[in-house]
Structure 1
Amino acid sequence: MTTPETLPAAIRAIAATYPERTAVVDGDVRLTWAELHQQVIATARGYRALGLQPGERVCIWVPNTWEWIVAGLAISYAGGVLVPLNTRYKGHEVADVALRTDATLLVVADGFLGRAQAQEIREAAVEVAAQAGRSVDAGSPVPGLPAVRAIVRIGSGEVAGTVAFDALATLGDAVPLNEIEAVASAVSPDDVADILFTSGTTGRSKGVLTAHSQTIAAADVWGTTGEVTVDDRYLVVSPFFHSYGYKVGLVTAVLKGCALYPVAAFNADEVLDLIAAERISVVPGAPTIFHSLLESPKFATTDTSSLRLANTGAASVPQVLVERMQTELSFERVATAFGMTECVMATMCRAGDSDELVATTCGRALDGVELRIADATTGEPLPAGAEGEVLLRGPMVMIGYLDDAEATADAIDGDGWLHTGDVGVVDEAGYLRITDRLKDMYISGGFNVYPAEVEQALARLEGVVEAAVVGVPDERMGEVGKAYVVRRAEATVTADDVIAFARERIANFKVPRYVSFVDTLPRNLSGKVLKNELREDHA
């Protein structure tokens, strides 16, 4: 089957090729590819009935469920631009993204983890709009978010002023089938497919614009290199709001036709039960996922012999973990990889690579990707074995950042090279090893954390003069945050106060695990905080 060039074409093609094969399994819900396609069409018609026009943005704030899969694919089918949101976001973070993207629809899982998402957004939107200097229209569905026409609610019960997800099919009856099919057919490979937000060193999140052709290229090269087939049963633990869950997970399944098993909230015992019951074969994820499975009391009595492919690489991977994944978890193949939201797939280990290579490198450049190590100052390419900045070029490198030409120009040079901000070495055989970061970002449990964003939140705490946050090693999470805080002379702020304040304002994975109070922060002559010294202090 020829690889489709757009997401609507991909769902059509896989439904036509494997109509009766299982597409999605989520608890009691089982959908074939033909059934999934019909659900996507019906939902896309519902979006159209709510006024969605091609090119408009739709935010989806939903955990990994069959509803996310239908809702997300339907956004593309209706010609819209998918904007996935982190389920751990607070209402202010969601409202900020919705405002910046001029989102016309919000799809939320109201009640997930006991939260009232629709209410959170409404309460936060007014404040976010005021901070942005925008007027508030009290008569709109979400005062403070003037572009939003409706909130689509996934979940039981009723919430005033929202549209039930289950009602979209009925609403969509007013839209002729040939109309929505014409919209889907008109989607171009060069059209923006999705905007995934990744925090920047300025402390404010940046929207990464990716075309349909780029999203599909990333998923296709990962699936092909991982030898994913229609017979695989693919467990997606990584969240769909992340490129690893959405593109490497969901879009790969759409291209290859394998059965998809979404996991809304990771629980080691429940995942082990699912692996045994459904004979799961593919499980990508951060190292912490596999560590948790191995350490679960249930592991000793669980049949994991169906496992075939594990892909990891969100943090350094101990060689002993690779060995245990193969011998104890029974994976036939463990592959590490390197990528980022701006270029989802860049390098990956291949079948037959040694445990040492898998544990100590990120693999070789994938088909279609150019990899270069360059001098961070001059940009000149460096030879094998020399340490420098990792540069990437290829078909899955992003279009650019949303409404930020300056940041785009800083990231992608005139020759099309993406400057990753990571420092690495490539050996004679082409294997990449990441040795450091030009940026201060760290990875906690598979999630990118940008210290500037955390520092801005802590700066609002009464009694805090300034704060610097660094990533420090953690056996289970890879890295966690440590905040070095300078207090005012009279302040009585405690470490518990700092952590509690952060929990109220930022997603849990961003909240520092440790707090240390200092009189001053170490700085260089230009005033920049010397974070290496802070990391050394912790060590």
Structure 2
Amino acid sequence: MATATLVEHYSKDQVEDDDHWSCFCPKSGIFRSPHRLASRHHPPSDPDLDAASFILSLLPSAHSPRPAFLDSVTGRCVTFSDLHRSVLSLASTLRLALDLRPGDVVLLLSPNSVIYPAIVLAVLASGAVLSPASPLCTPSEIARQARDSGAVLAIATPEEAHKLVSAGVPTLLTHRSPEDRDGPPSVEEMMECSDPLAAPPPARGKSDVAAVLYSSGTTGAPKGVVLTHGNLIAMVSLLRWSAEVSGAEDDVYLAFIPMYHVYGLAFFALGLPSLGATTVVMSRFDLEAAMEAVARHGVTNIPAVPPVVVAMAKSSKRWDLSGLRRVGTGAAALGAEAARRFRRRYPWAELREGYGLTESGGAATFAVVASRRAEGRGVGQLLPGFEARVVAPATGKEEGPGGVGELWLRGPTVMREYLGDEAATAAELVGGEWLRTGDLVYFDEEGFLFIVDRIKEHIKHNGYQVWRANLMGSIVRETAVADLRNQLQVTPSELEALLLTHPHILDAAVVPLEDEEAGQVPMAYLVRSTESQLTSEEVIQFVASQVAPHKKIRRVAFISSIPRSPAGKILRKELIANANQAVLPKL
């Protein structure tokens, strides 16, 4: 698939007058973004432009003392001057001392840190391909990613390096551990010592591979998502546009979203440095520490995920968040009640929802204006350069506004392919360009996107398909619901969204539990507040009083936390495996 530019996606029939621009073309069945990218945000058209060169050209002066990254605990500061030097120095060392060649893959295994963005940019500047990995992965999972991606070098923290032993990949440590004073130079030392002018960077262009990210694997094995330099350049351009139109250019950001995930990578390692923004970095998320960091460091903008928004809204603790201006949420579902509760608790802070996935480079829609309407406005409108189709699963028919179907996306950040998997690529990229998201959605007449459900996640109970419909901060219009009922026989289950309306339930996940009589029954995994004595029977009665009989929760388990991906998506396969293996008493 040739990577399209932000400008190429505008249709020739788009008129100049925004007042006459329609988001949907009945003839083609395509929804288009109502937003345009101003010329100042258009990246250079040079096909030989690489992502690192583009981002470095946007940074503040190489001599700027402005803080780029601050450690939330230690206060360690990386200025933009430090960032320039570190990127160029490490890139030179990777090329010259370690003989890293264009296209070689470097696996990065580290939690968030103030030097993580410099490592990312240095790998790209060296001409290598970045493959970030989660520290939550096991040694066998890390070995699989190293093998699948073809990594020739790894960079890891001393605490995580042991996971790479079985992978057999040469490994650099990000920094020296206190007991290791005589080992080889660390990455931090390489950032300080090498000559950044020793050799020019190898030529890489927009069509070349820049990164291989692994999907969360919530329902299957993770696959390598191939993103090009053109994809990354488009991601940065869109983030710069969104910051400007939402008035967030001068914000101070809090980074607890993992930078190895596409959400964190796009925001913190690539996009925010290009804005000249200051980012306060947390190595791991802790609600109380995060809220204290907001007050201590003057944080005004928190890119978050739904569980964090829910926790902020439901916490009994009080923090001084008067300086907070914006909270963004995406990557997973946020229920309407959770959004309303957050807005009641923090009326001065804008709550903005967006939508994207790893395969779309983390981008697709964005709420340009924070809605104050009770039902919200879904997850925003398509970003500039994006197009969408809504395809009815049963018929393959393209739906117009209000019609429910699978979301197909085309845009400048959509992946090139799944690494080494032609069959999966062909199945997910229709015609080599339309990404099938697997999400059931609809658009309203103004081009706002509403997520209804995941197509593959349903519970079959006595012949009914009990679909798990968390409405992501929206109320589906009655006609859309009626159409969906006709299509699926039954439309249950706002079960998770319903459970989260209970004042003592902090988090919830609903999965199918195998049952001899019914085939499958809904089971709920719940996190209850610490002071709560909520019982399983009370939960079952709470749901039963508000849903049809076939949607009732039949089993309940209380756990300390819901397993989620870094983006906040529920890891259902873990819960399903546990549910069907455990011996649970009937309730």
Equivalent position to 1:46, from 93, 114, 119: 93
Structure-2 residue corresponding to 1:118: 161
Q: Which residue of 1 aligns with 2:20?
A: none
C-alpha displacement of 1:38: 0.6
CA gap of 1:351–1:67, structure 2 versus 1, over 3 A, is: same
1:15–1:37 contact (8 Å) kept in structure 2? no
Q: 1:351 to 1:202 in 2, by over 3 A?
A: closer
What displacement does 1:47 show? 2.0
- CA–CA distance in structure 2, aligned partners of residues 18 and 289 of structure 1: 36
Q: How does 1:315-330 map to 2 (within 5 A)?
A: 315-329=332-346
1:272-324 CA distance string (max 9 Å, x none): 111011110111111211232344454x2x22122122111333323343344
Partner deviation per Cα, 1:479-534 (whole Å, 9 max, x = no partner): 36676599xxxxxxxx9xxx9xxx9xx99974428844589xxxxxxxxxxxxxxx
Partners in 2 of 1:382 and 1:297 — Cα distance?
A: 44
- 1-structure distance, mates of 2:494, 2:113: 31
Alpha-carbon displacement from aligned partner over 1:113-156 (angstroms, at most 9, x marks no partner) = xxxx322321x43xxxxxxxxxxxxxxxx2xxxxx343334452
CA drift at 1:410: 1.0
Q: Aligned residue for 1:98? A: 146
Richer in helix (by share): 1
2:530 corresponding residue in structure 1: none
Following superposition, the deviation at residue 351 of structure 1 comes to 1.0
Instruction: Confirm or deny: 8 A CA contact 2:280 2:297 kept in the other structure.
Output: no
> Hey, what's the Cα distance between the residues in 1 that align with 2:403 and 2:446?
14
Q: Which residue of 2 aligns with 1:13?
A: 58
Q: 1:383 Cα deviation (Å)?
A: 1.7
Residue equivalent to 2:287? 268
Aligned to 2:220: 203
1:108 correspondence with 2:171? no
CA RMSD of aligned residues (A): 3.7
Say whether the 8 Å CA contact 1:214–1:397 is kept in structure 2. Answer: yes
Specify the alignment match of 1:337 in structure 2. Answer: 354
How far does the alpha carbon of each residue in 1:412-466 deviate from its partner, in whole angstroms, 9 at most, with x for none?
A: 112621111111111111111111222349999x9xxxxxxxxxxxxxxxxxxxx
Cα drift, residue 325 of structure 1 = 3.4
Query: Post-superposition shift, 1:250?
Result: 2.6
Change (3 A) 1:415 1:77: closer
Alignment of 1:198-347 (within 5 A): 198-199=215-216, 203-227=220-244, 229-298=248-317, 300=318, 302-329=319-346, 331-343=348-360, 344-347=362-365
One-letter identity of the residue aligned with 1:90? T
Correspondent of 2:383 among 359, 366, 374: 366
Q: Does 1:512 align with 2:575?
A: yes
Residues 2-23 of structure 1: CA distance to partner in whole angstroms, max 9, x if unpaired? 6465223312431338823221
CA contact (8 A) 1:59 1:84 kept: yes
- TM-score w.r.t. the length of structure 1 is 0.74
Contact 2:351 2:370 (C-alpha < 8 Å) held by counterparts: no
Q: Write the distance in 1 (CA, Å) between the matches of 2:291 and 2:219.
A: 40
Residue in 2 that maps onto 1:354:
372
SS in 2 for 1:350: coil
Using a 3 Å threshold, how does the CA distance of structure 1 residues 238 and 478 change in structure 2: closer, same or farther? Answer: farther
> Which of 186, 199, 202 is matched with 1:164 structurally?
186
Distance 1:121 1:481 in 2: 34
Separation (CA, whole Å) in 1 of partners of 2:109 and 2:280: 19
1:32 counterpart = 2:49: no
TM-score scaled by length of structure 2:
0.68
Report deviation, 1:53: 1.3
- 1:481-520 to structure 2, matched below 5 A, reads 484=514, 510=571, 511-512=574-575, 515-517=578-580
Q: Does the aligned pair in 2 maintain the 1:54–1:183 contact within 8 Å?
A: no
Residue by residue, what CA displacement relative to the aligned partner does 1:13-58 show, whole Å, maximum 9, x if unpaired? 3133882322111132112212111111222223221221121111
Q: Which amino acid in the other structure matches residue 164 of structure 1?
A: S
Verify the 8 A CA contact 2:313 2:338 in the aligned structure 1. no
Q: Which has the higher contact order (CA 8 A, sep 6+)?
A: 2
Describe how 1:519-538 pairs up with structure 2 within 5 A: none
Q: Distance in 2 between matches of 1:91 and 1:471?
A: 37
Question: Matched residue of 1:88: which SS?
Answer: coil
Amino acid at match of 1:50: L
Contact 2:407-2:437 within 8 A present in 1 as well: yes
**Within 1, Cα distance between the matches of 2:211 and 2:217?**
18
Alignment partner, residue 196 of structure 2: 177
How many residues align structurally?
A: 448
| Structure 2: runs of 5+ lacking an equivalent | 1-39, 459-467, 473-492, 501-505, 517-524, 526-556
Matching residue's letter, 2:291: L
Which amino acid is 2:276 matched to? Answer: G
1:479 matched to 2:498: no
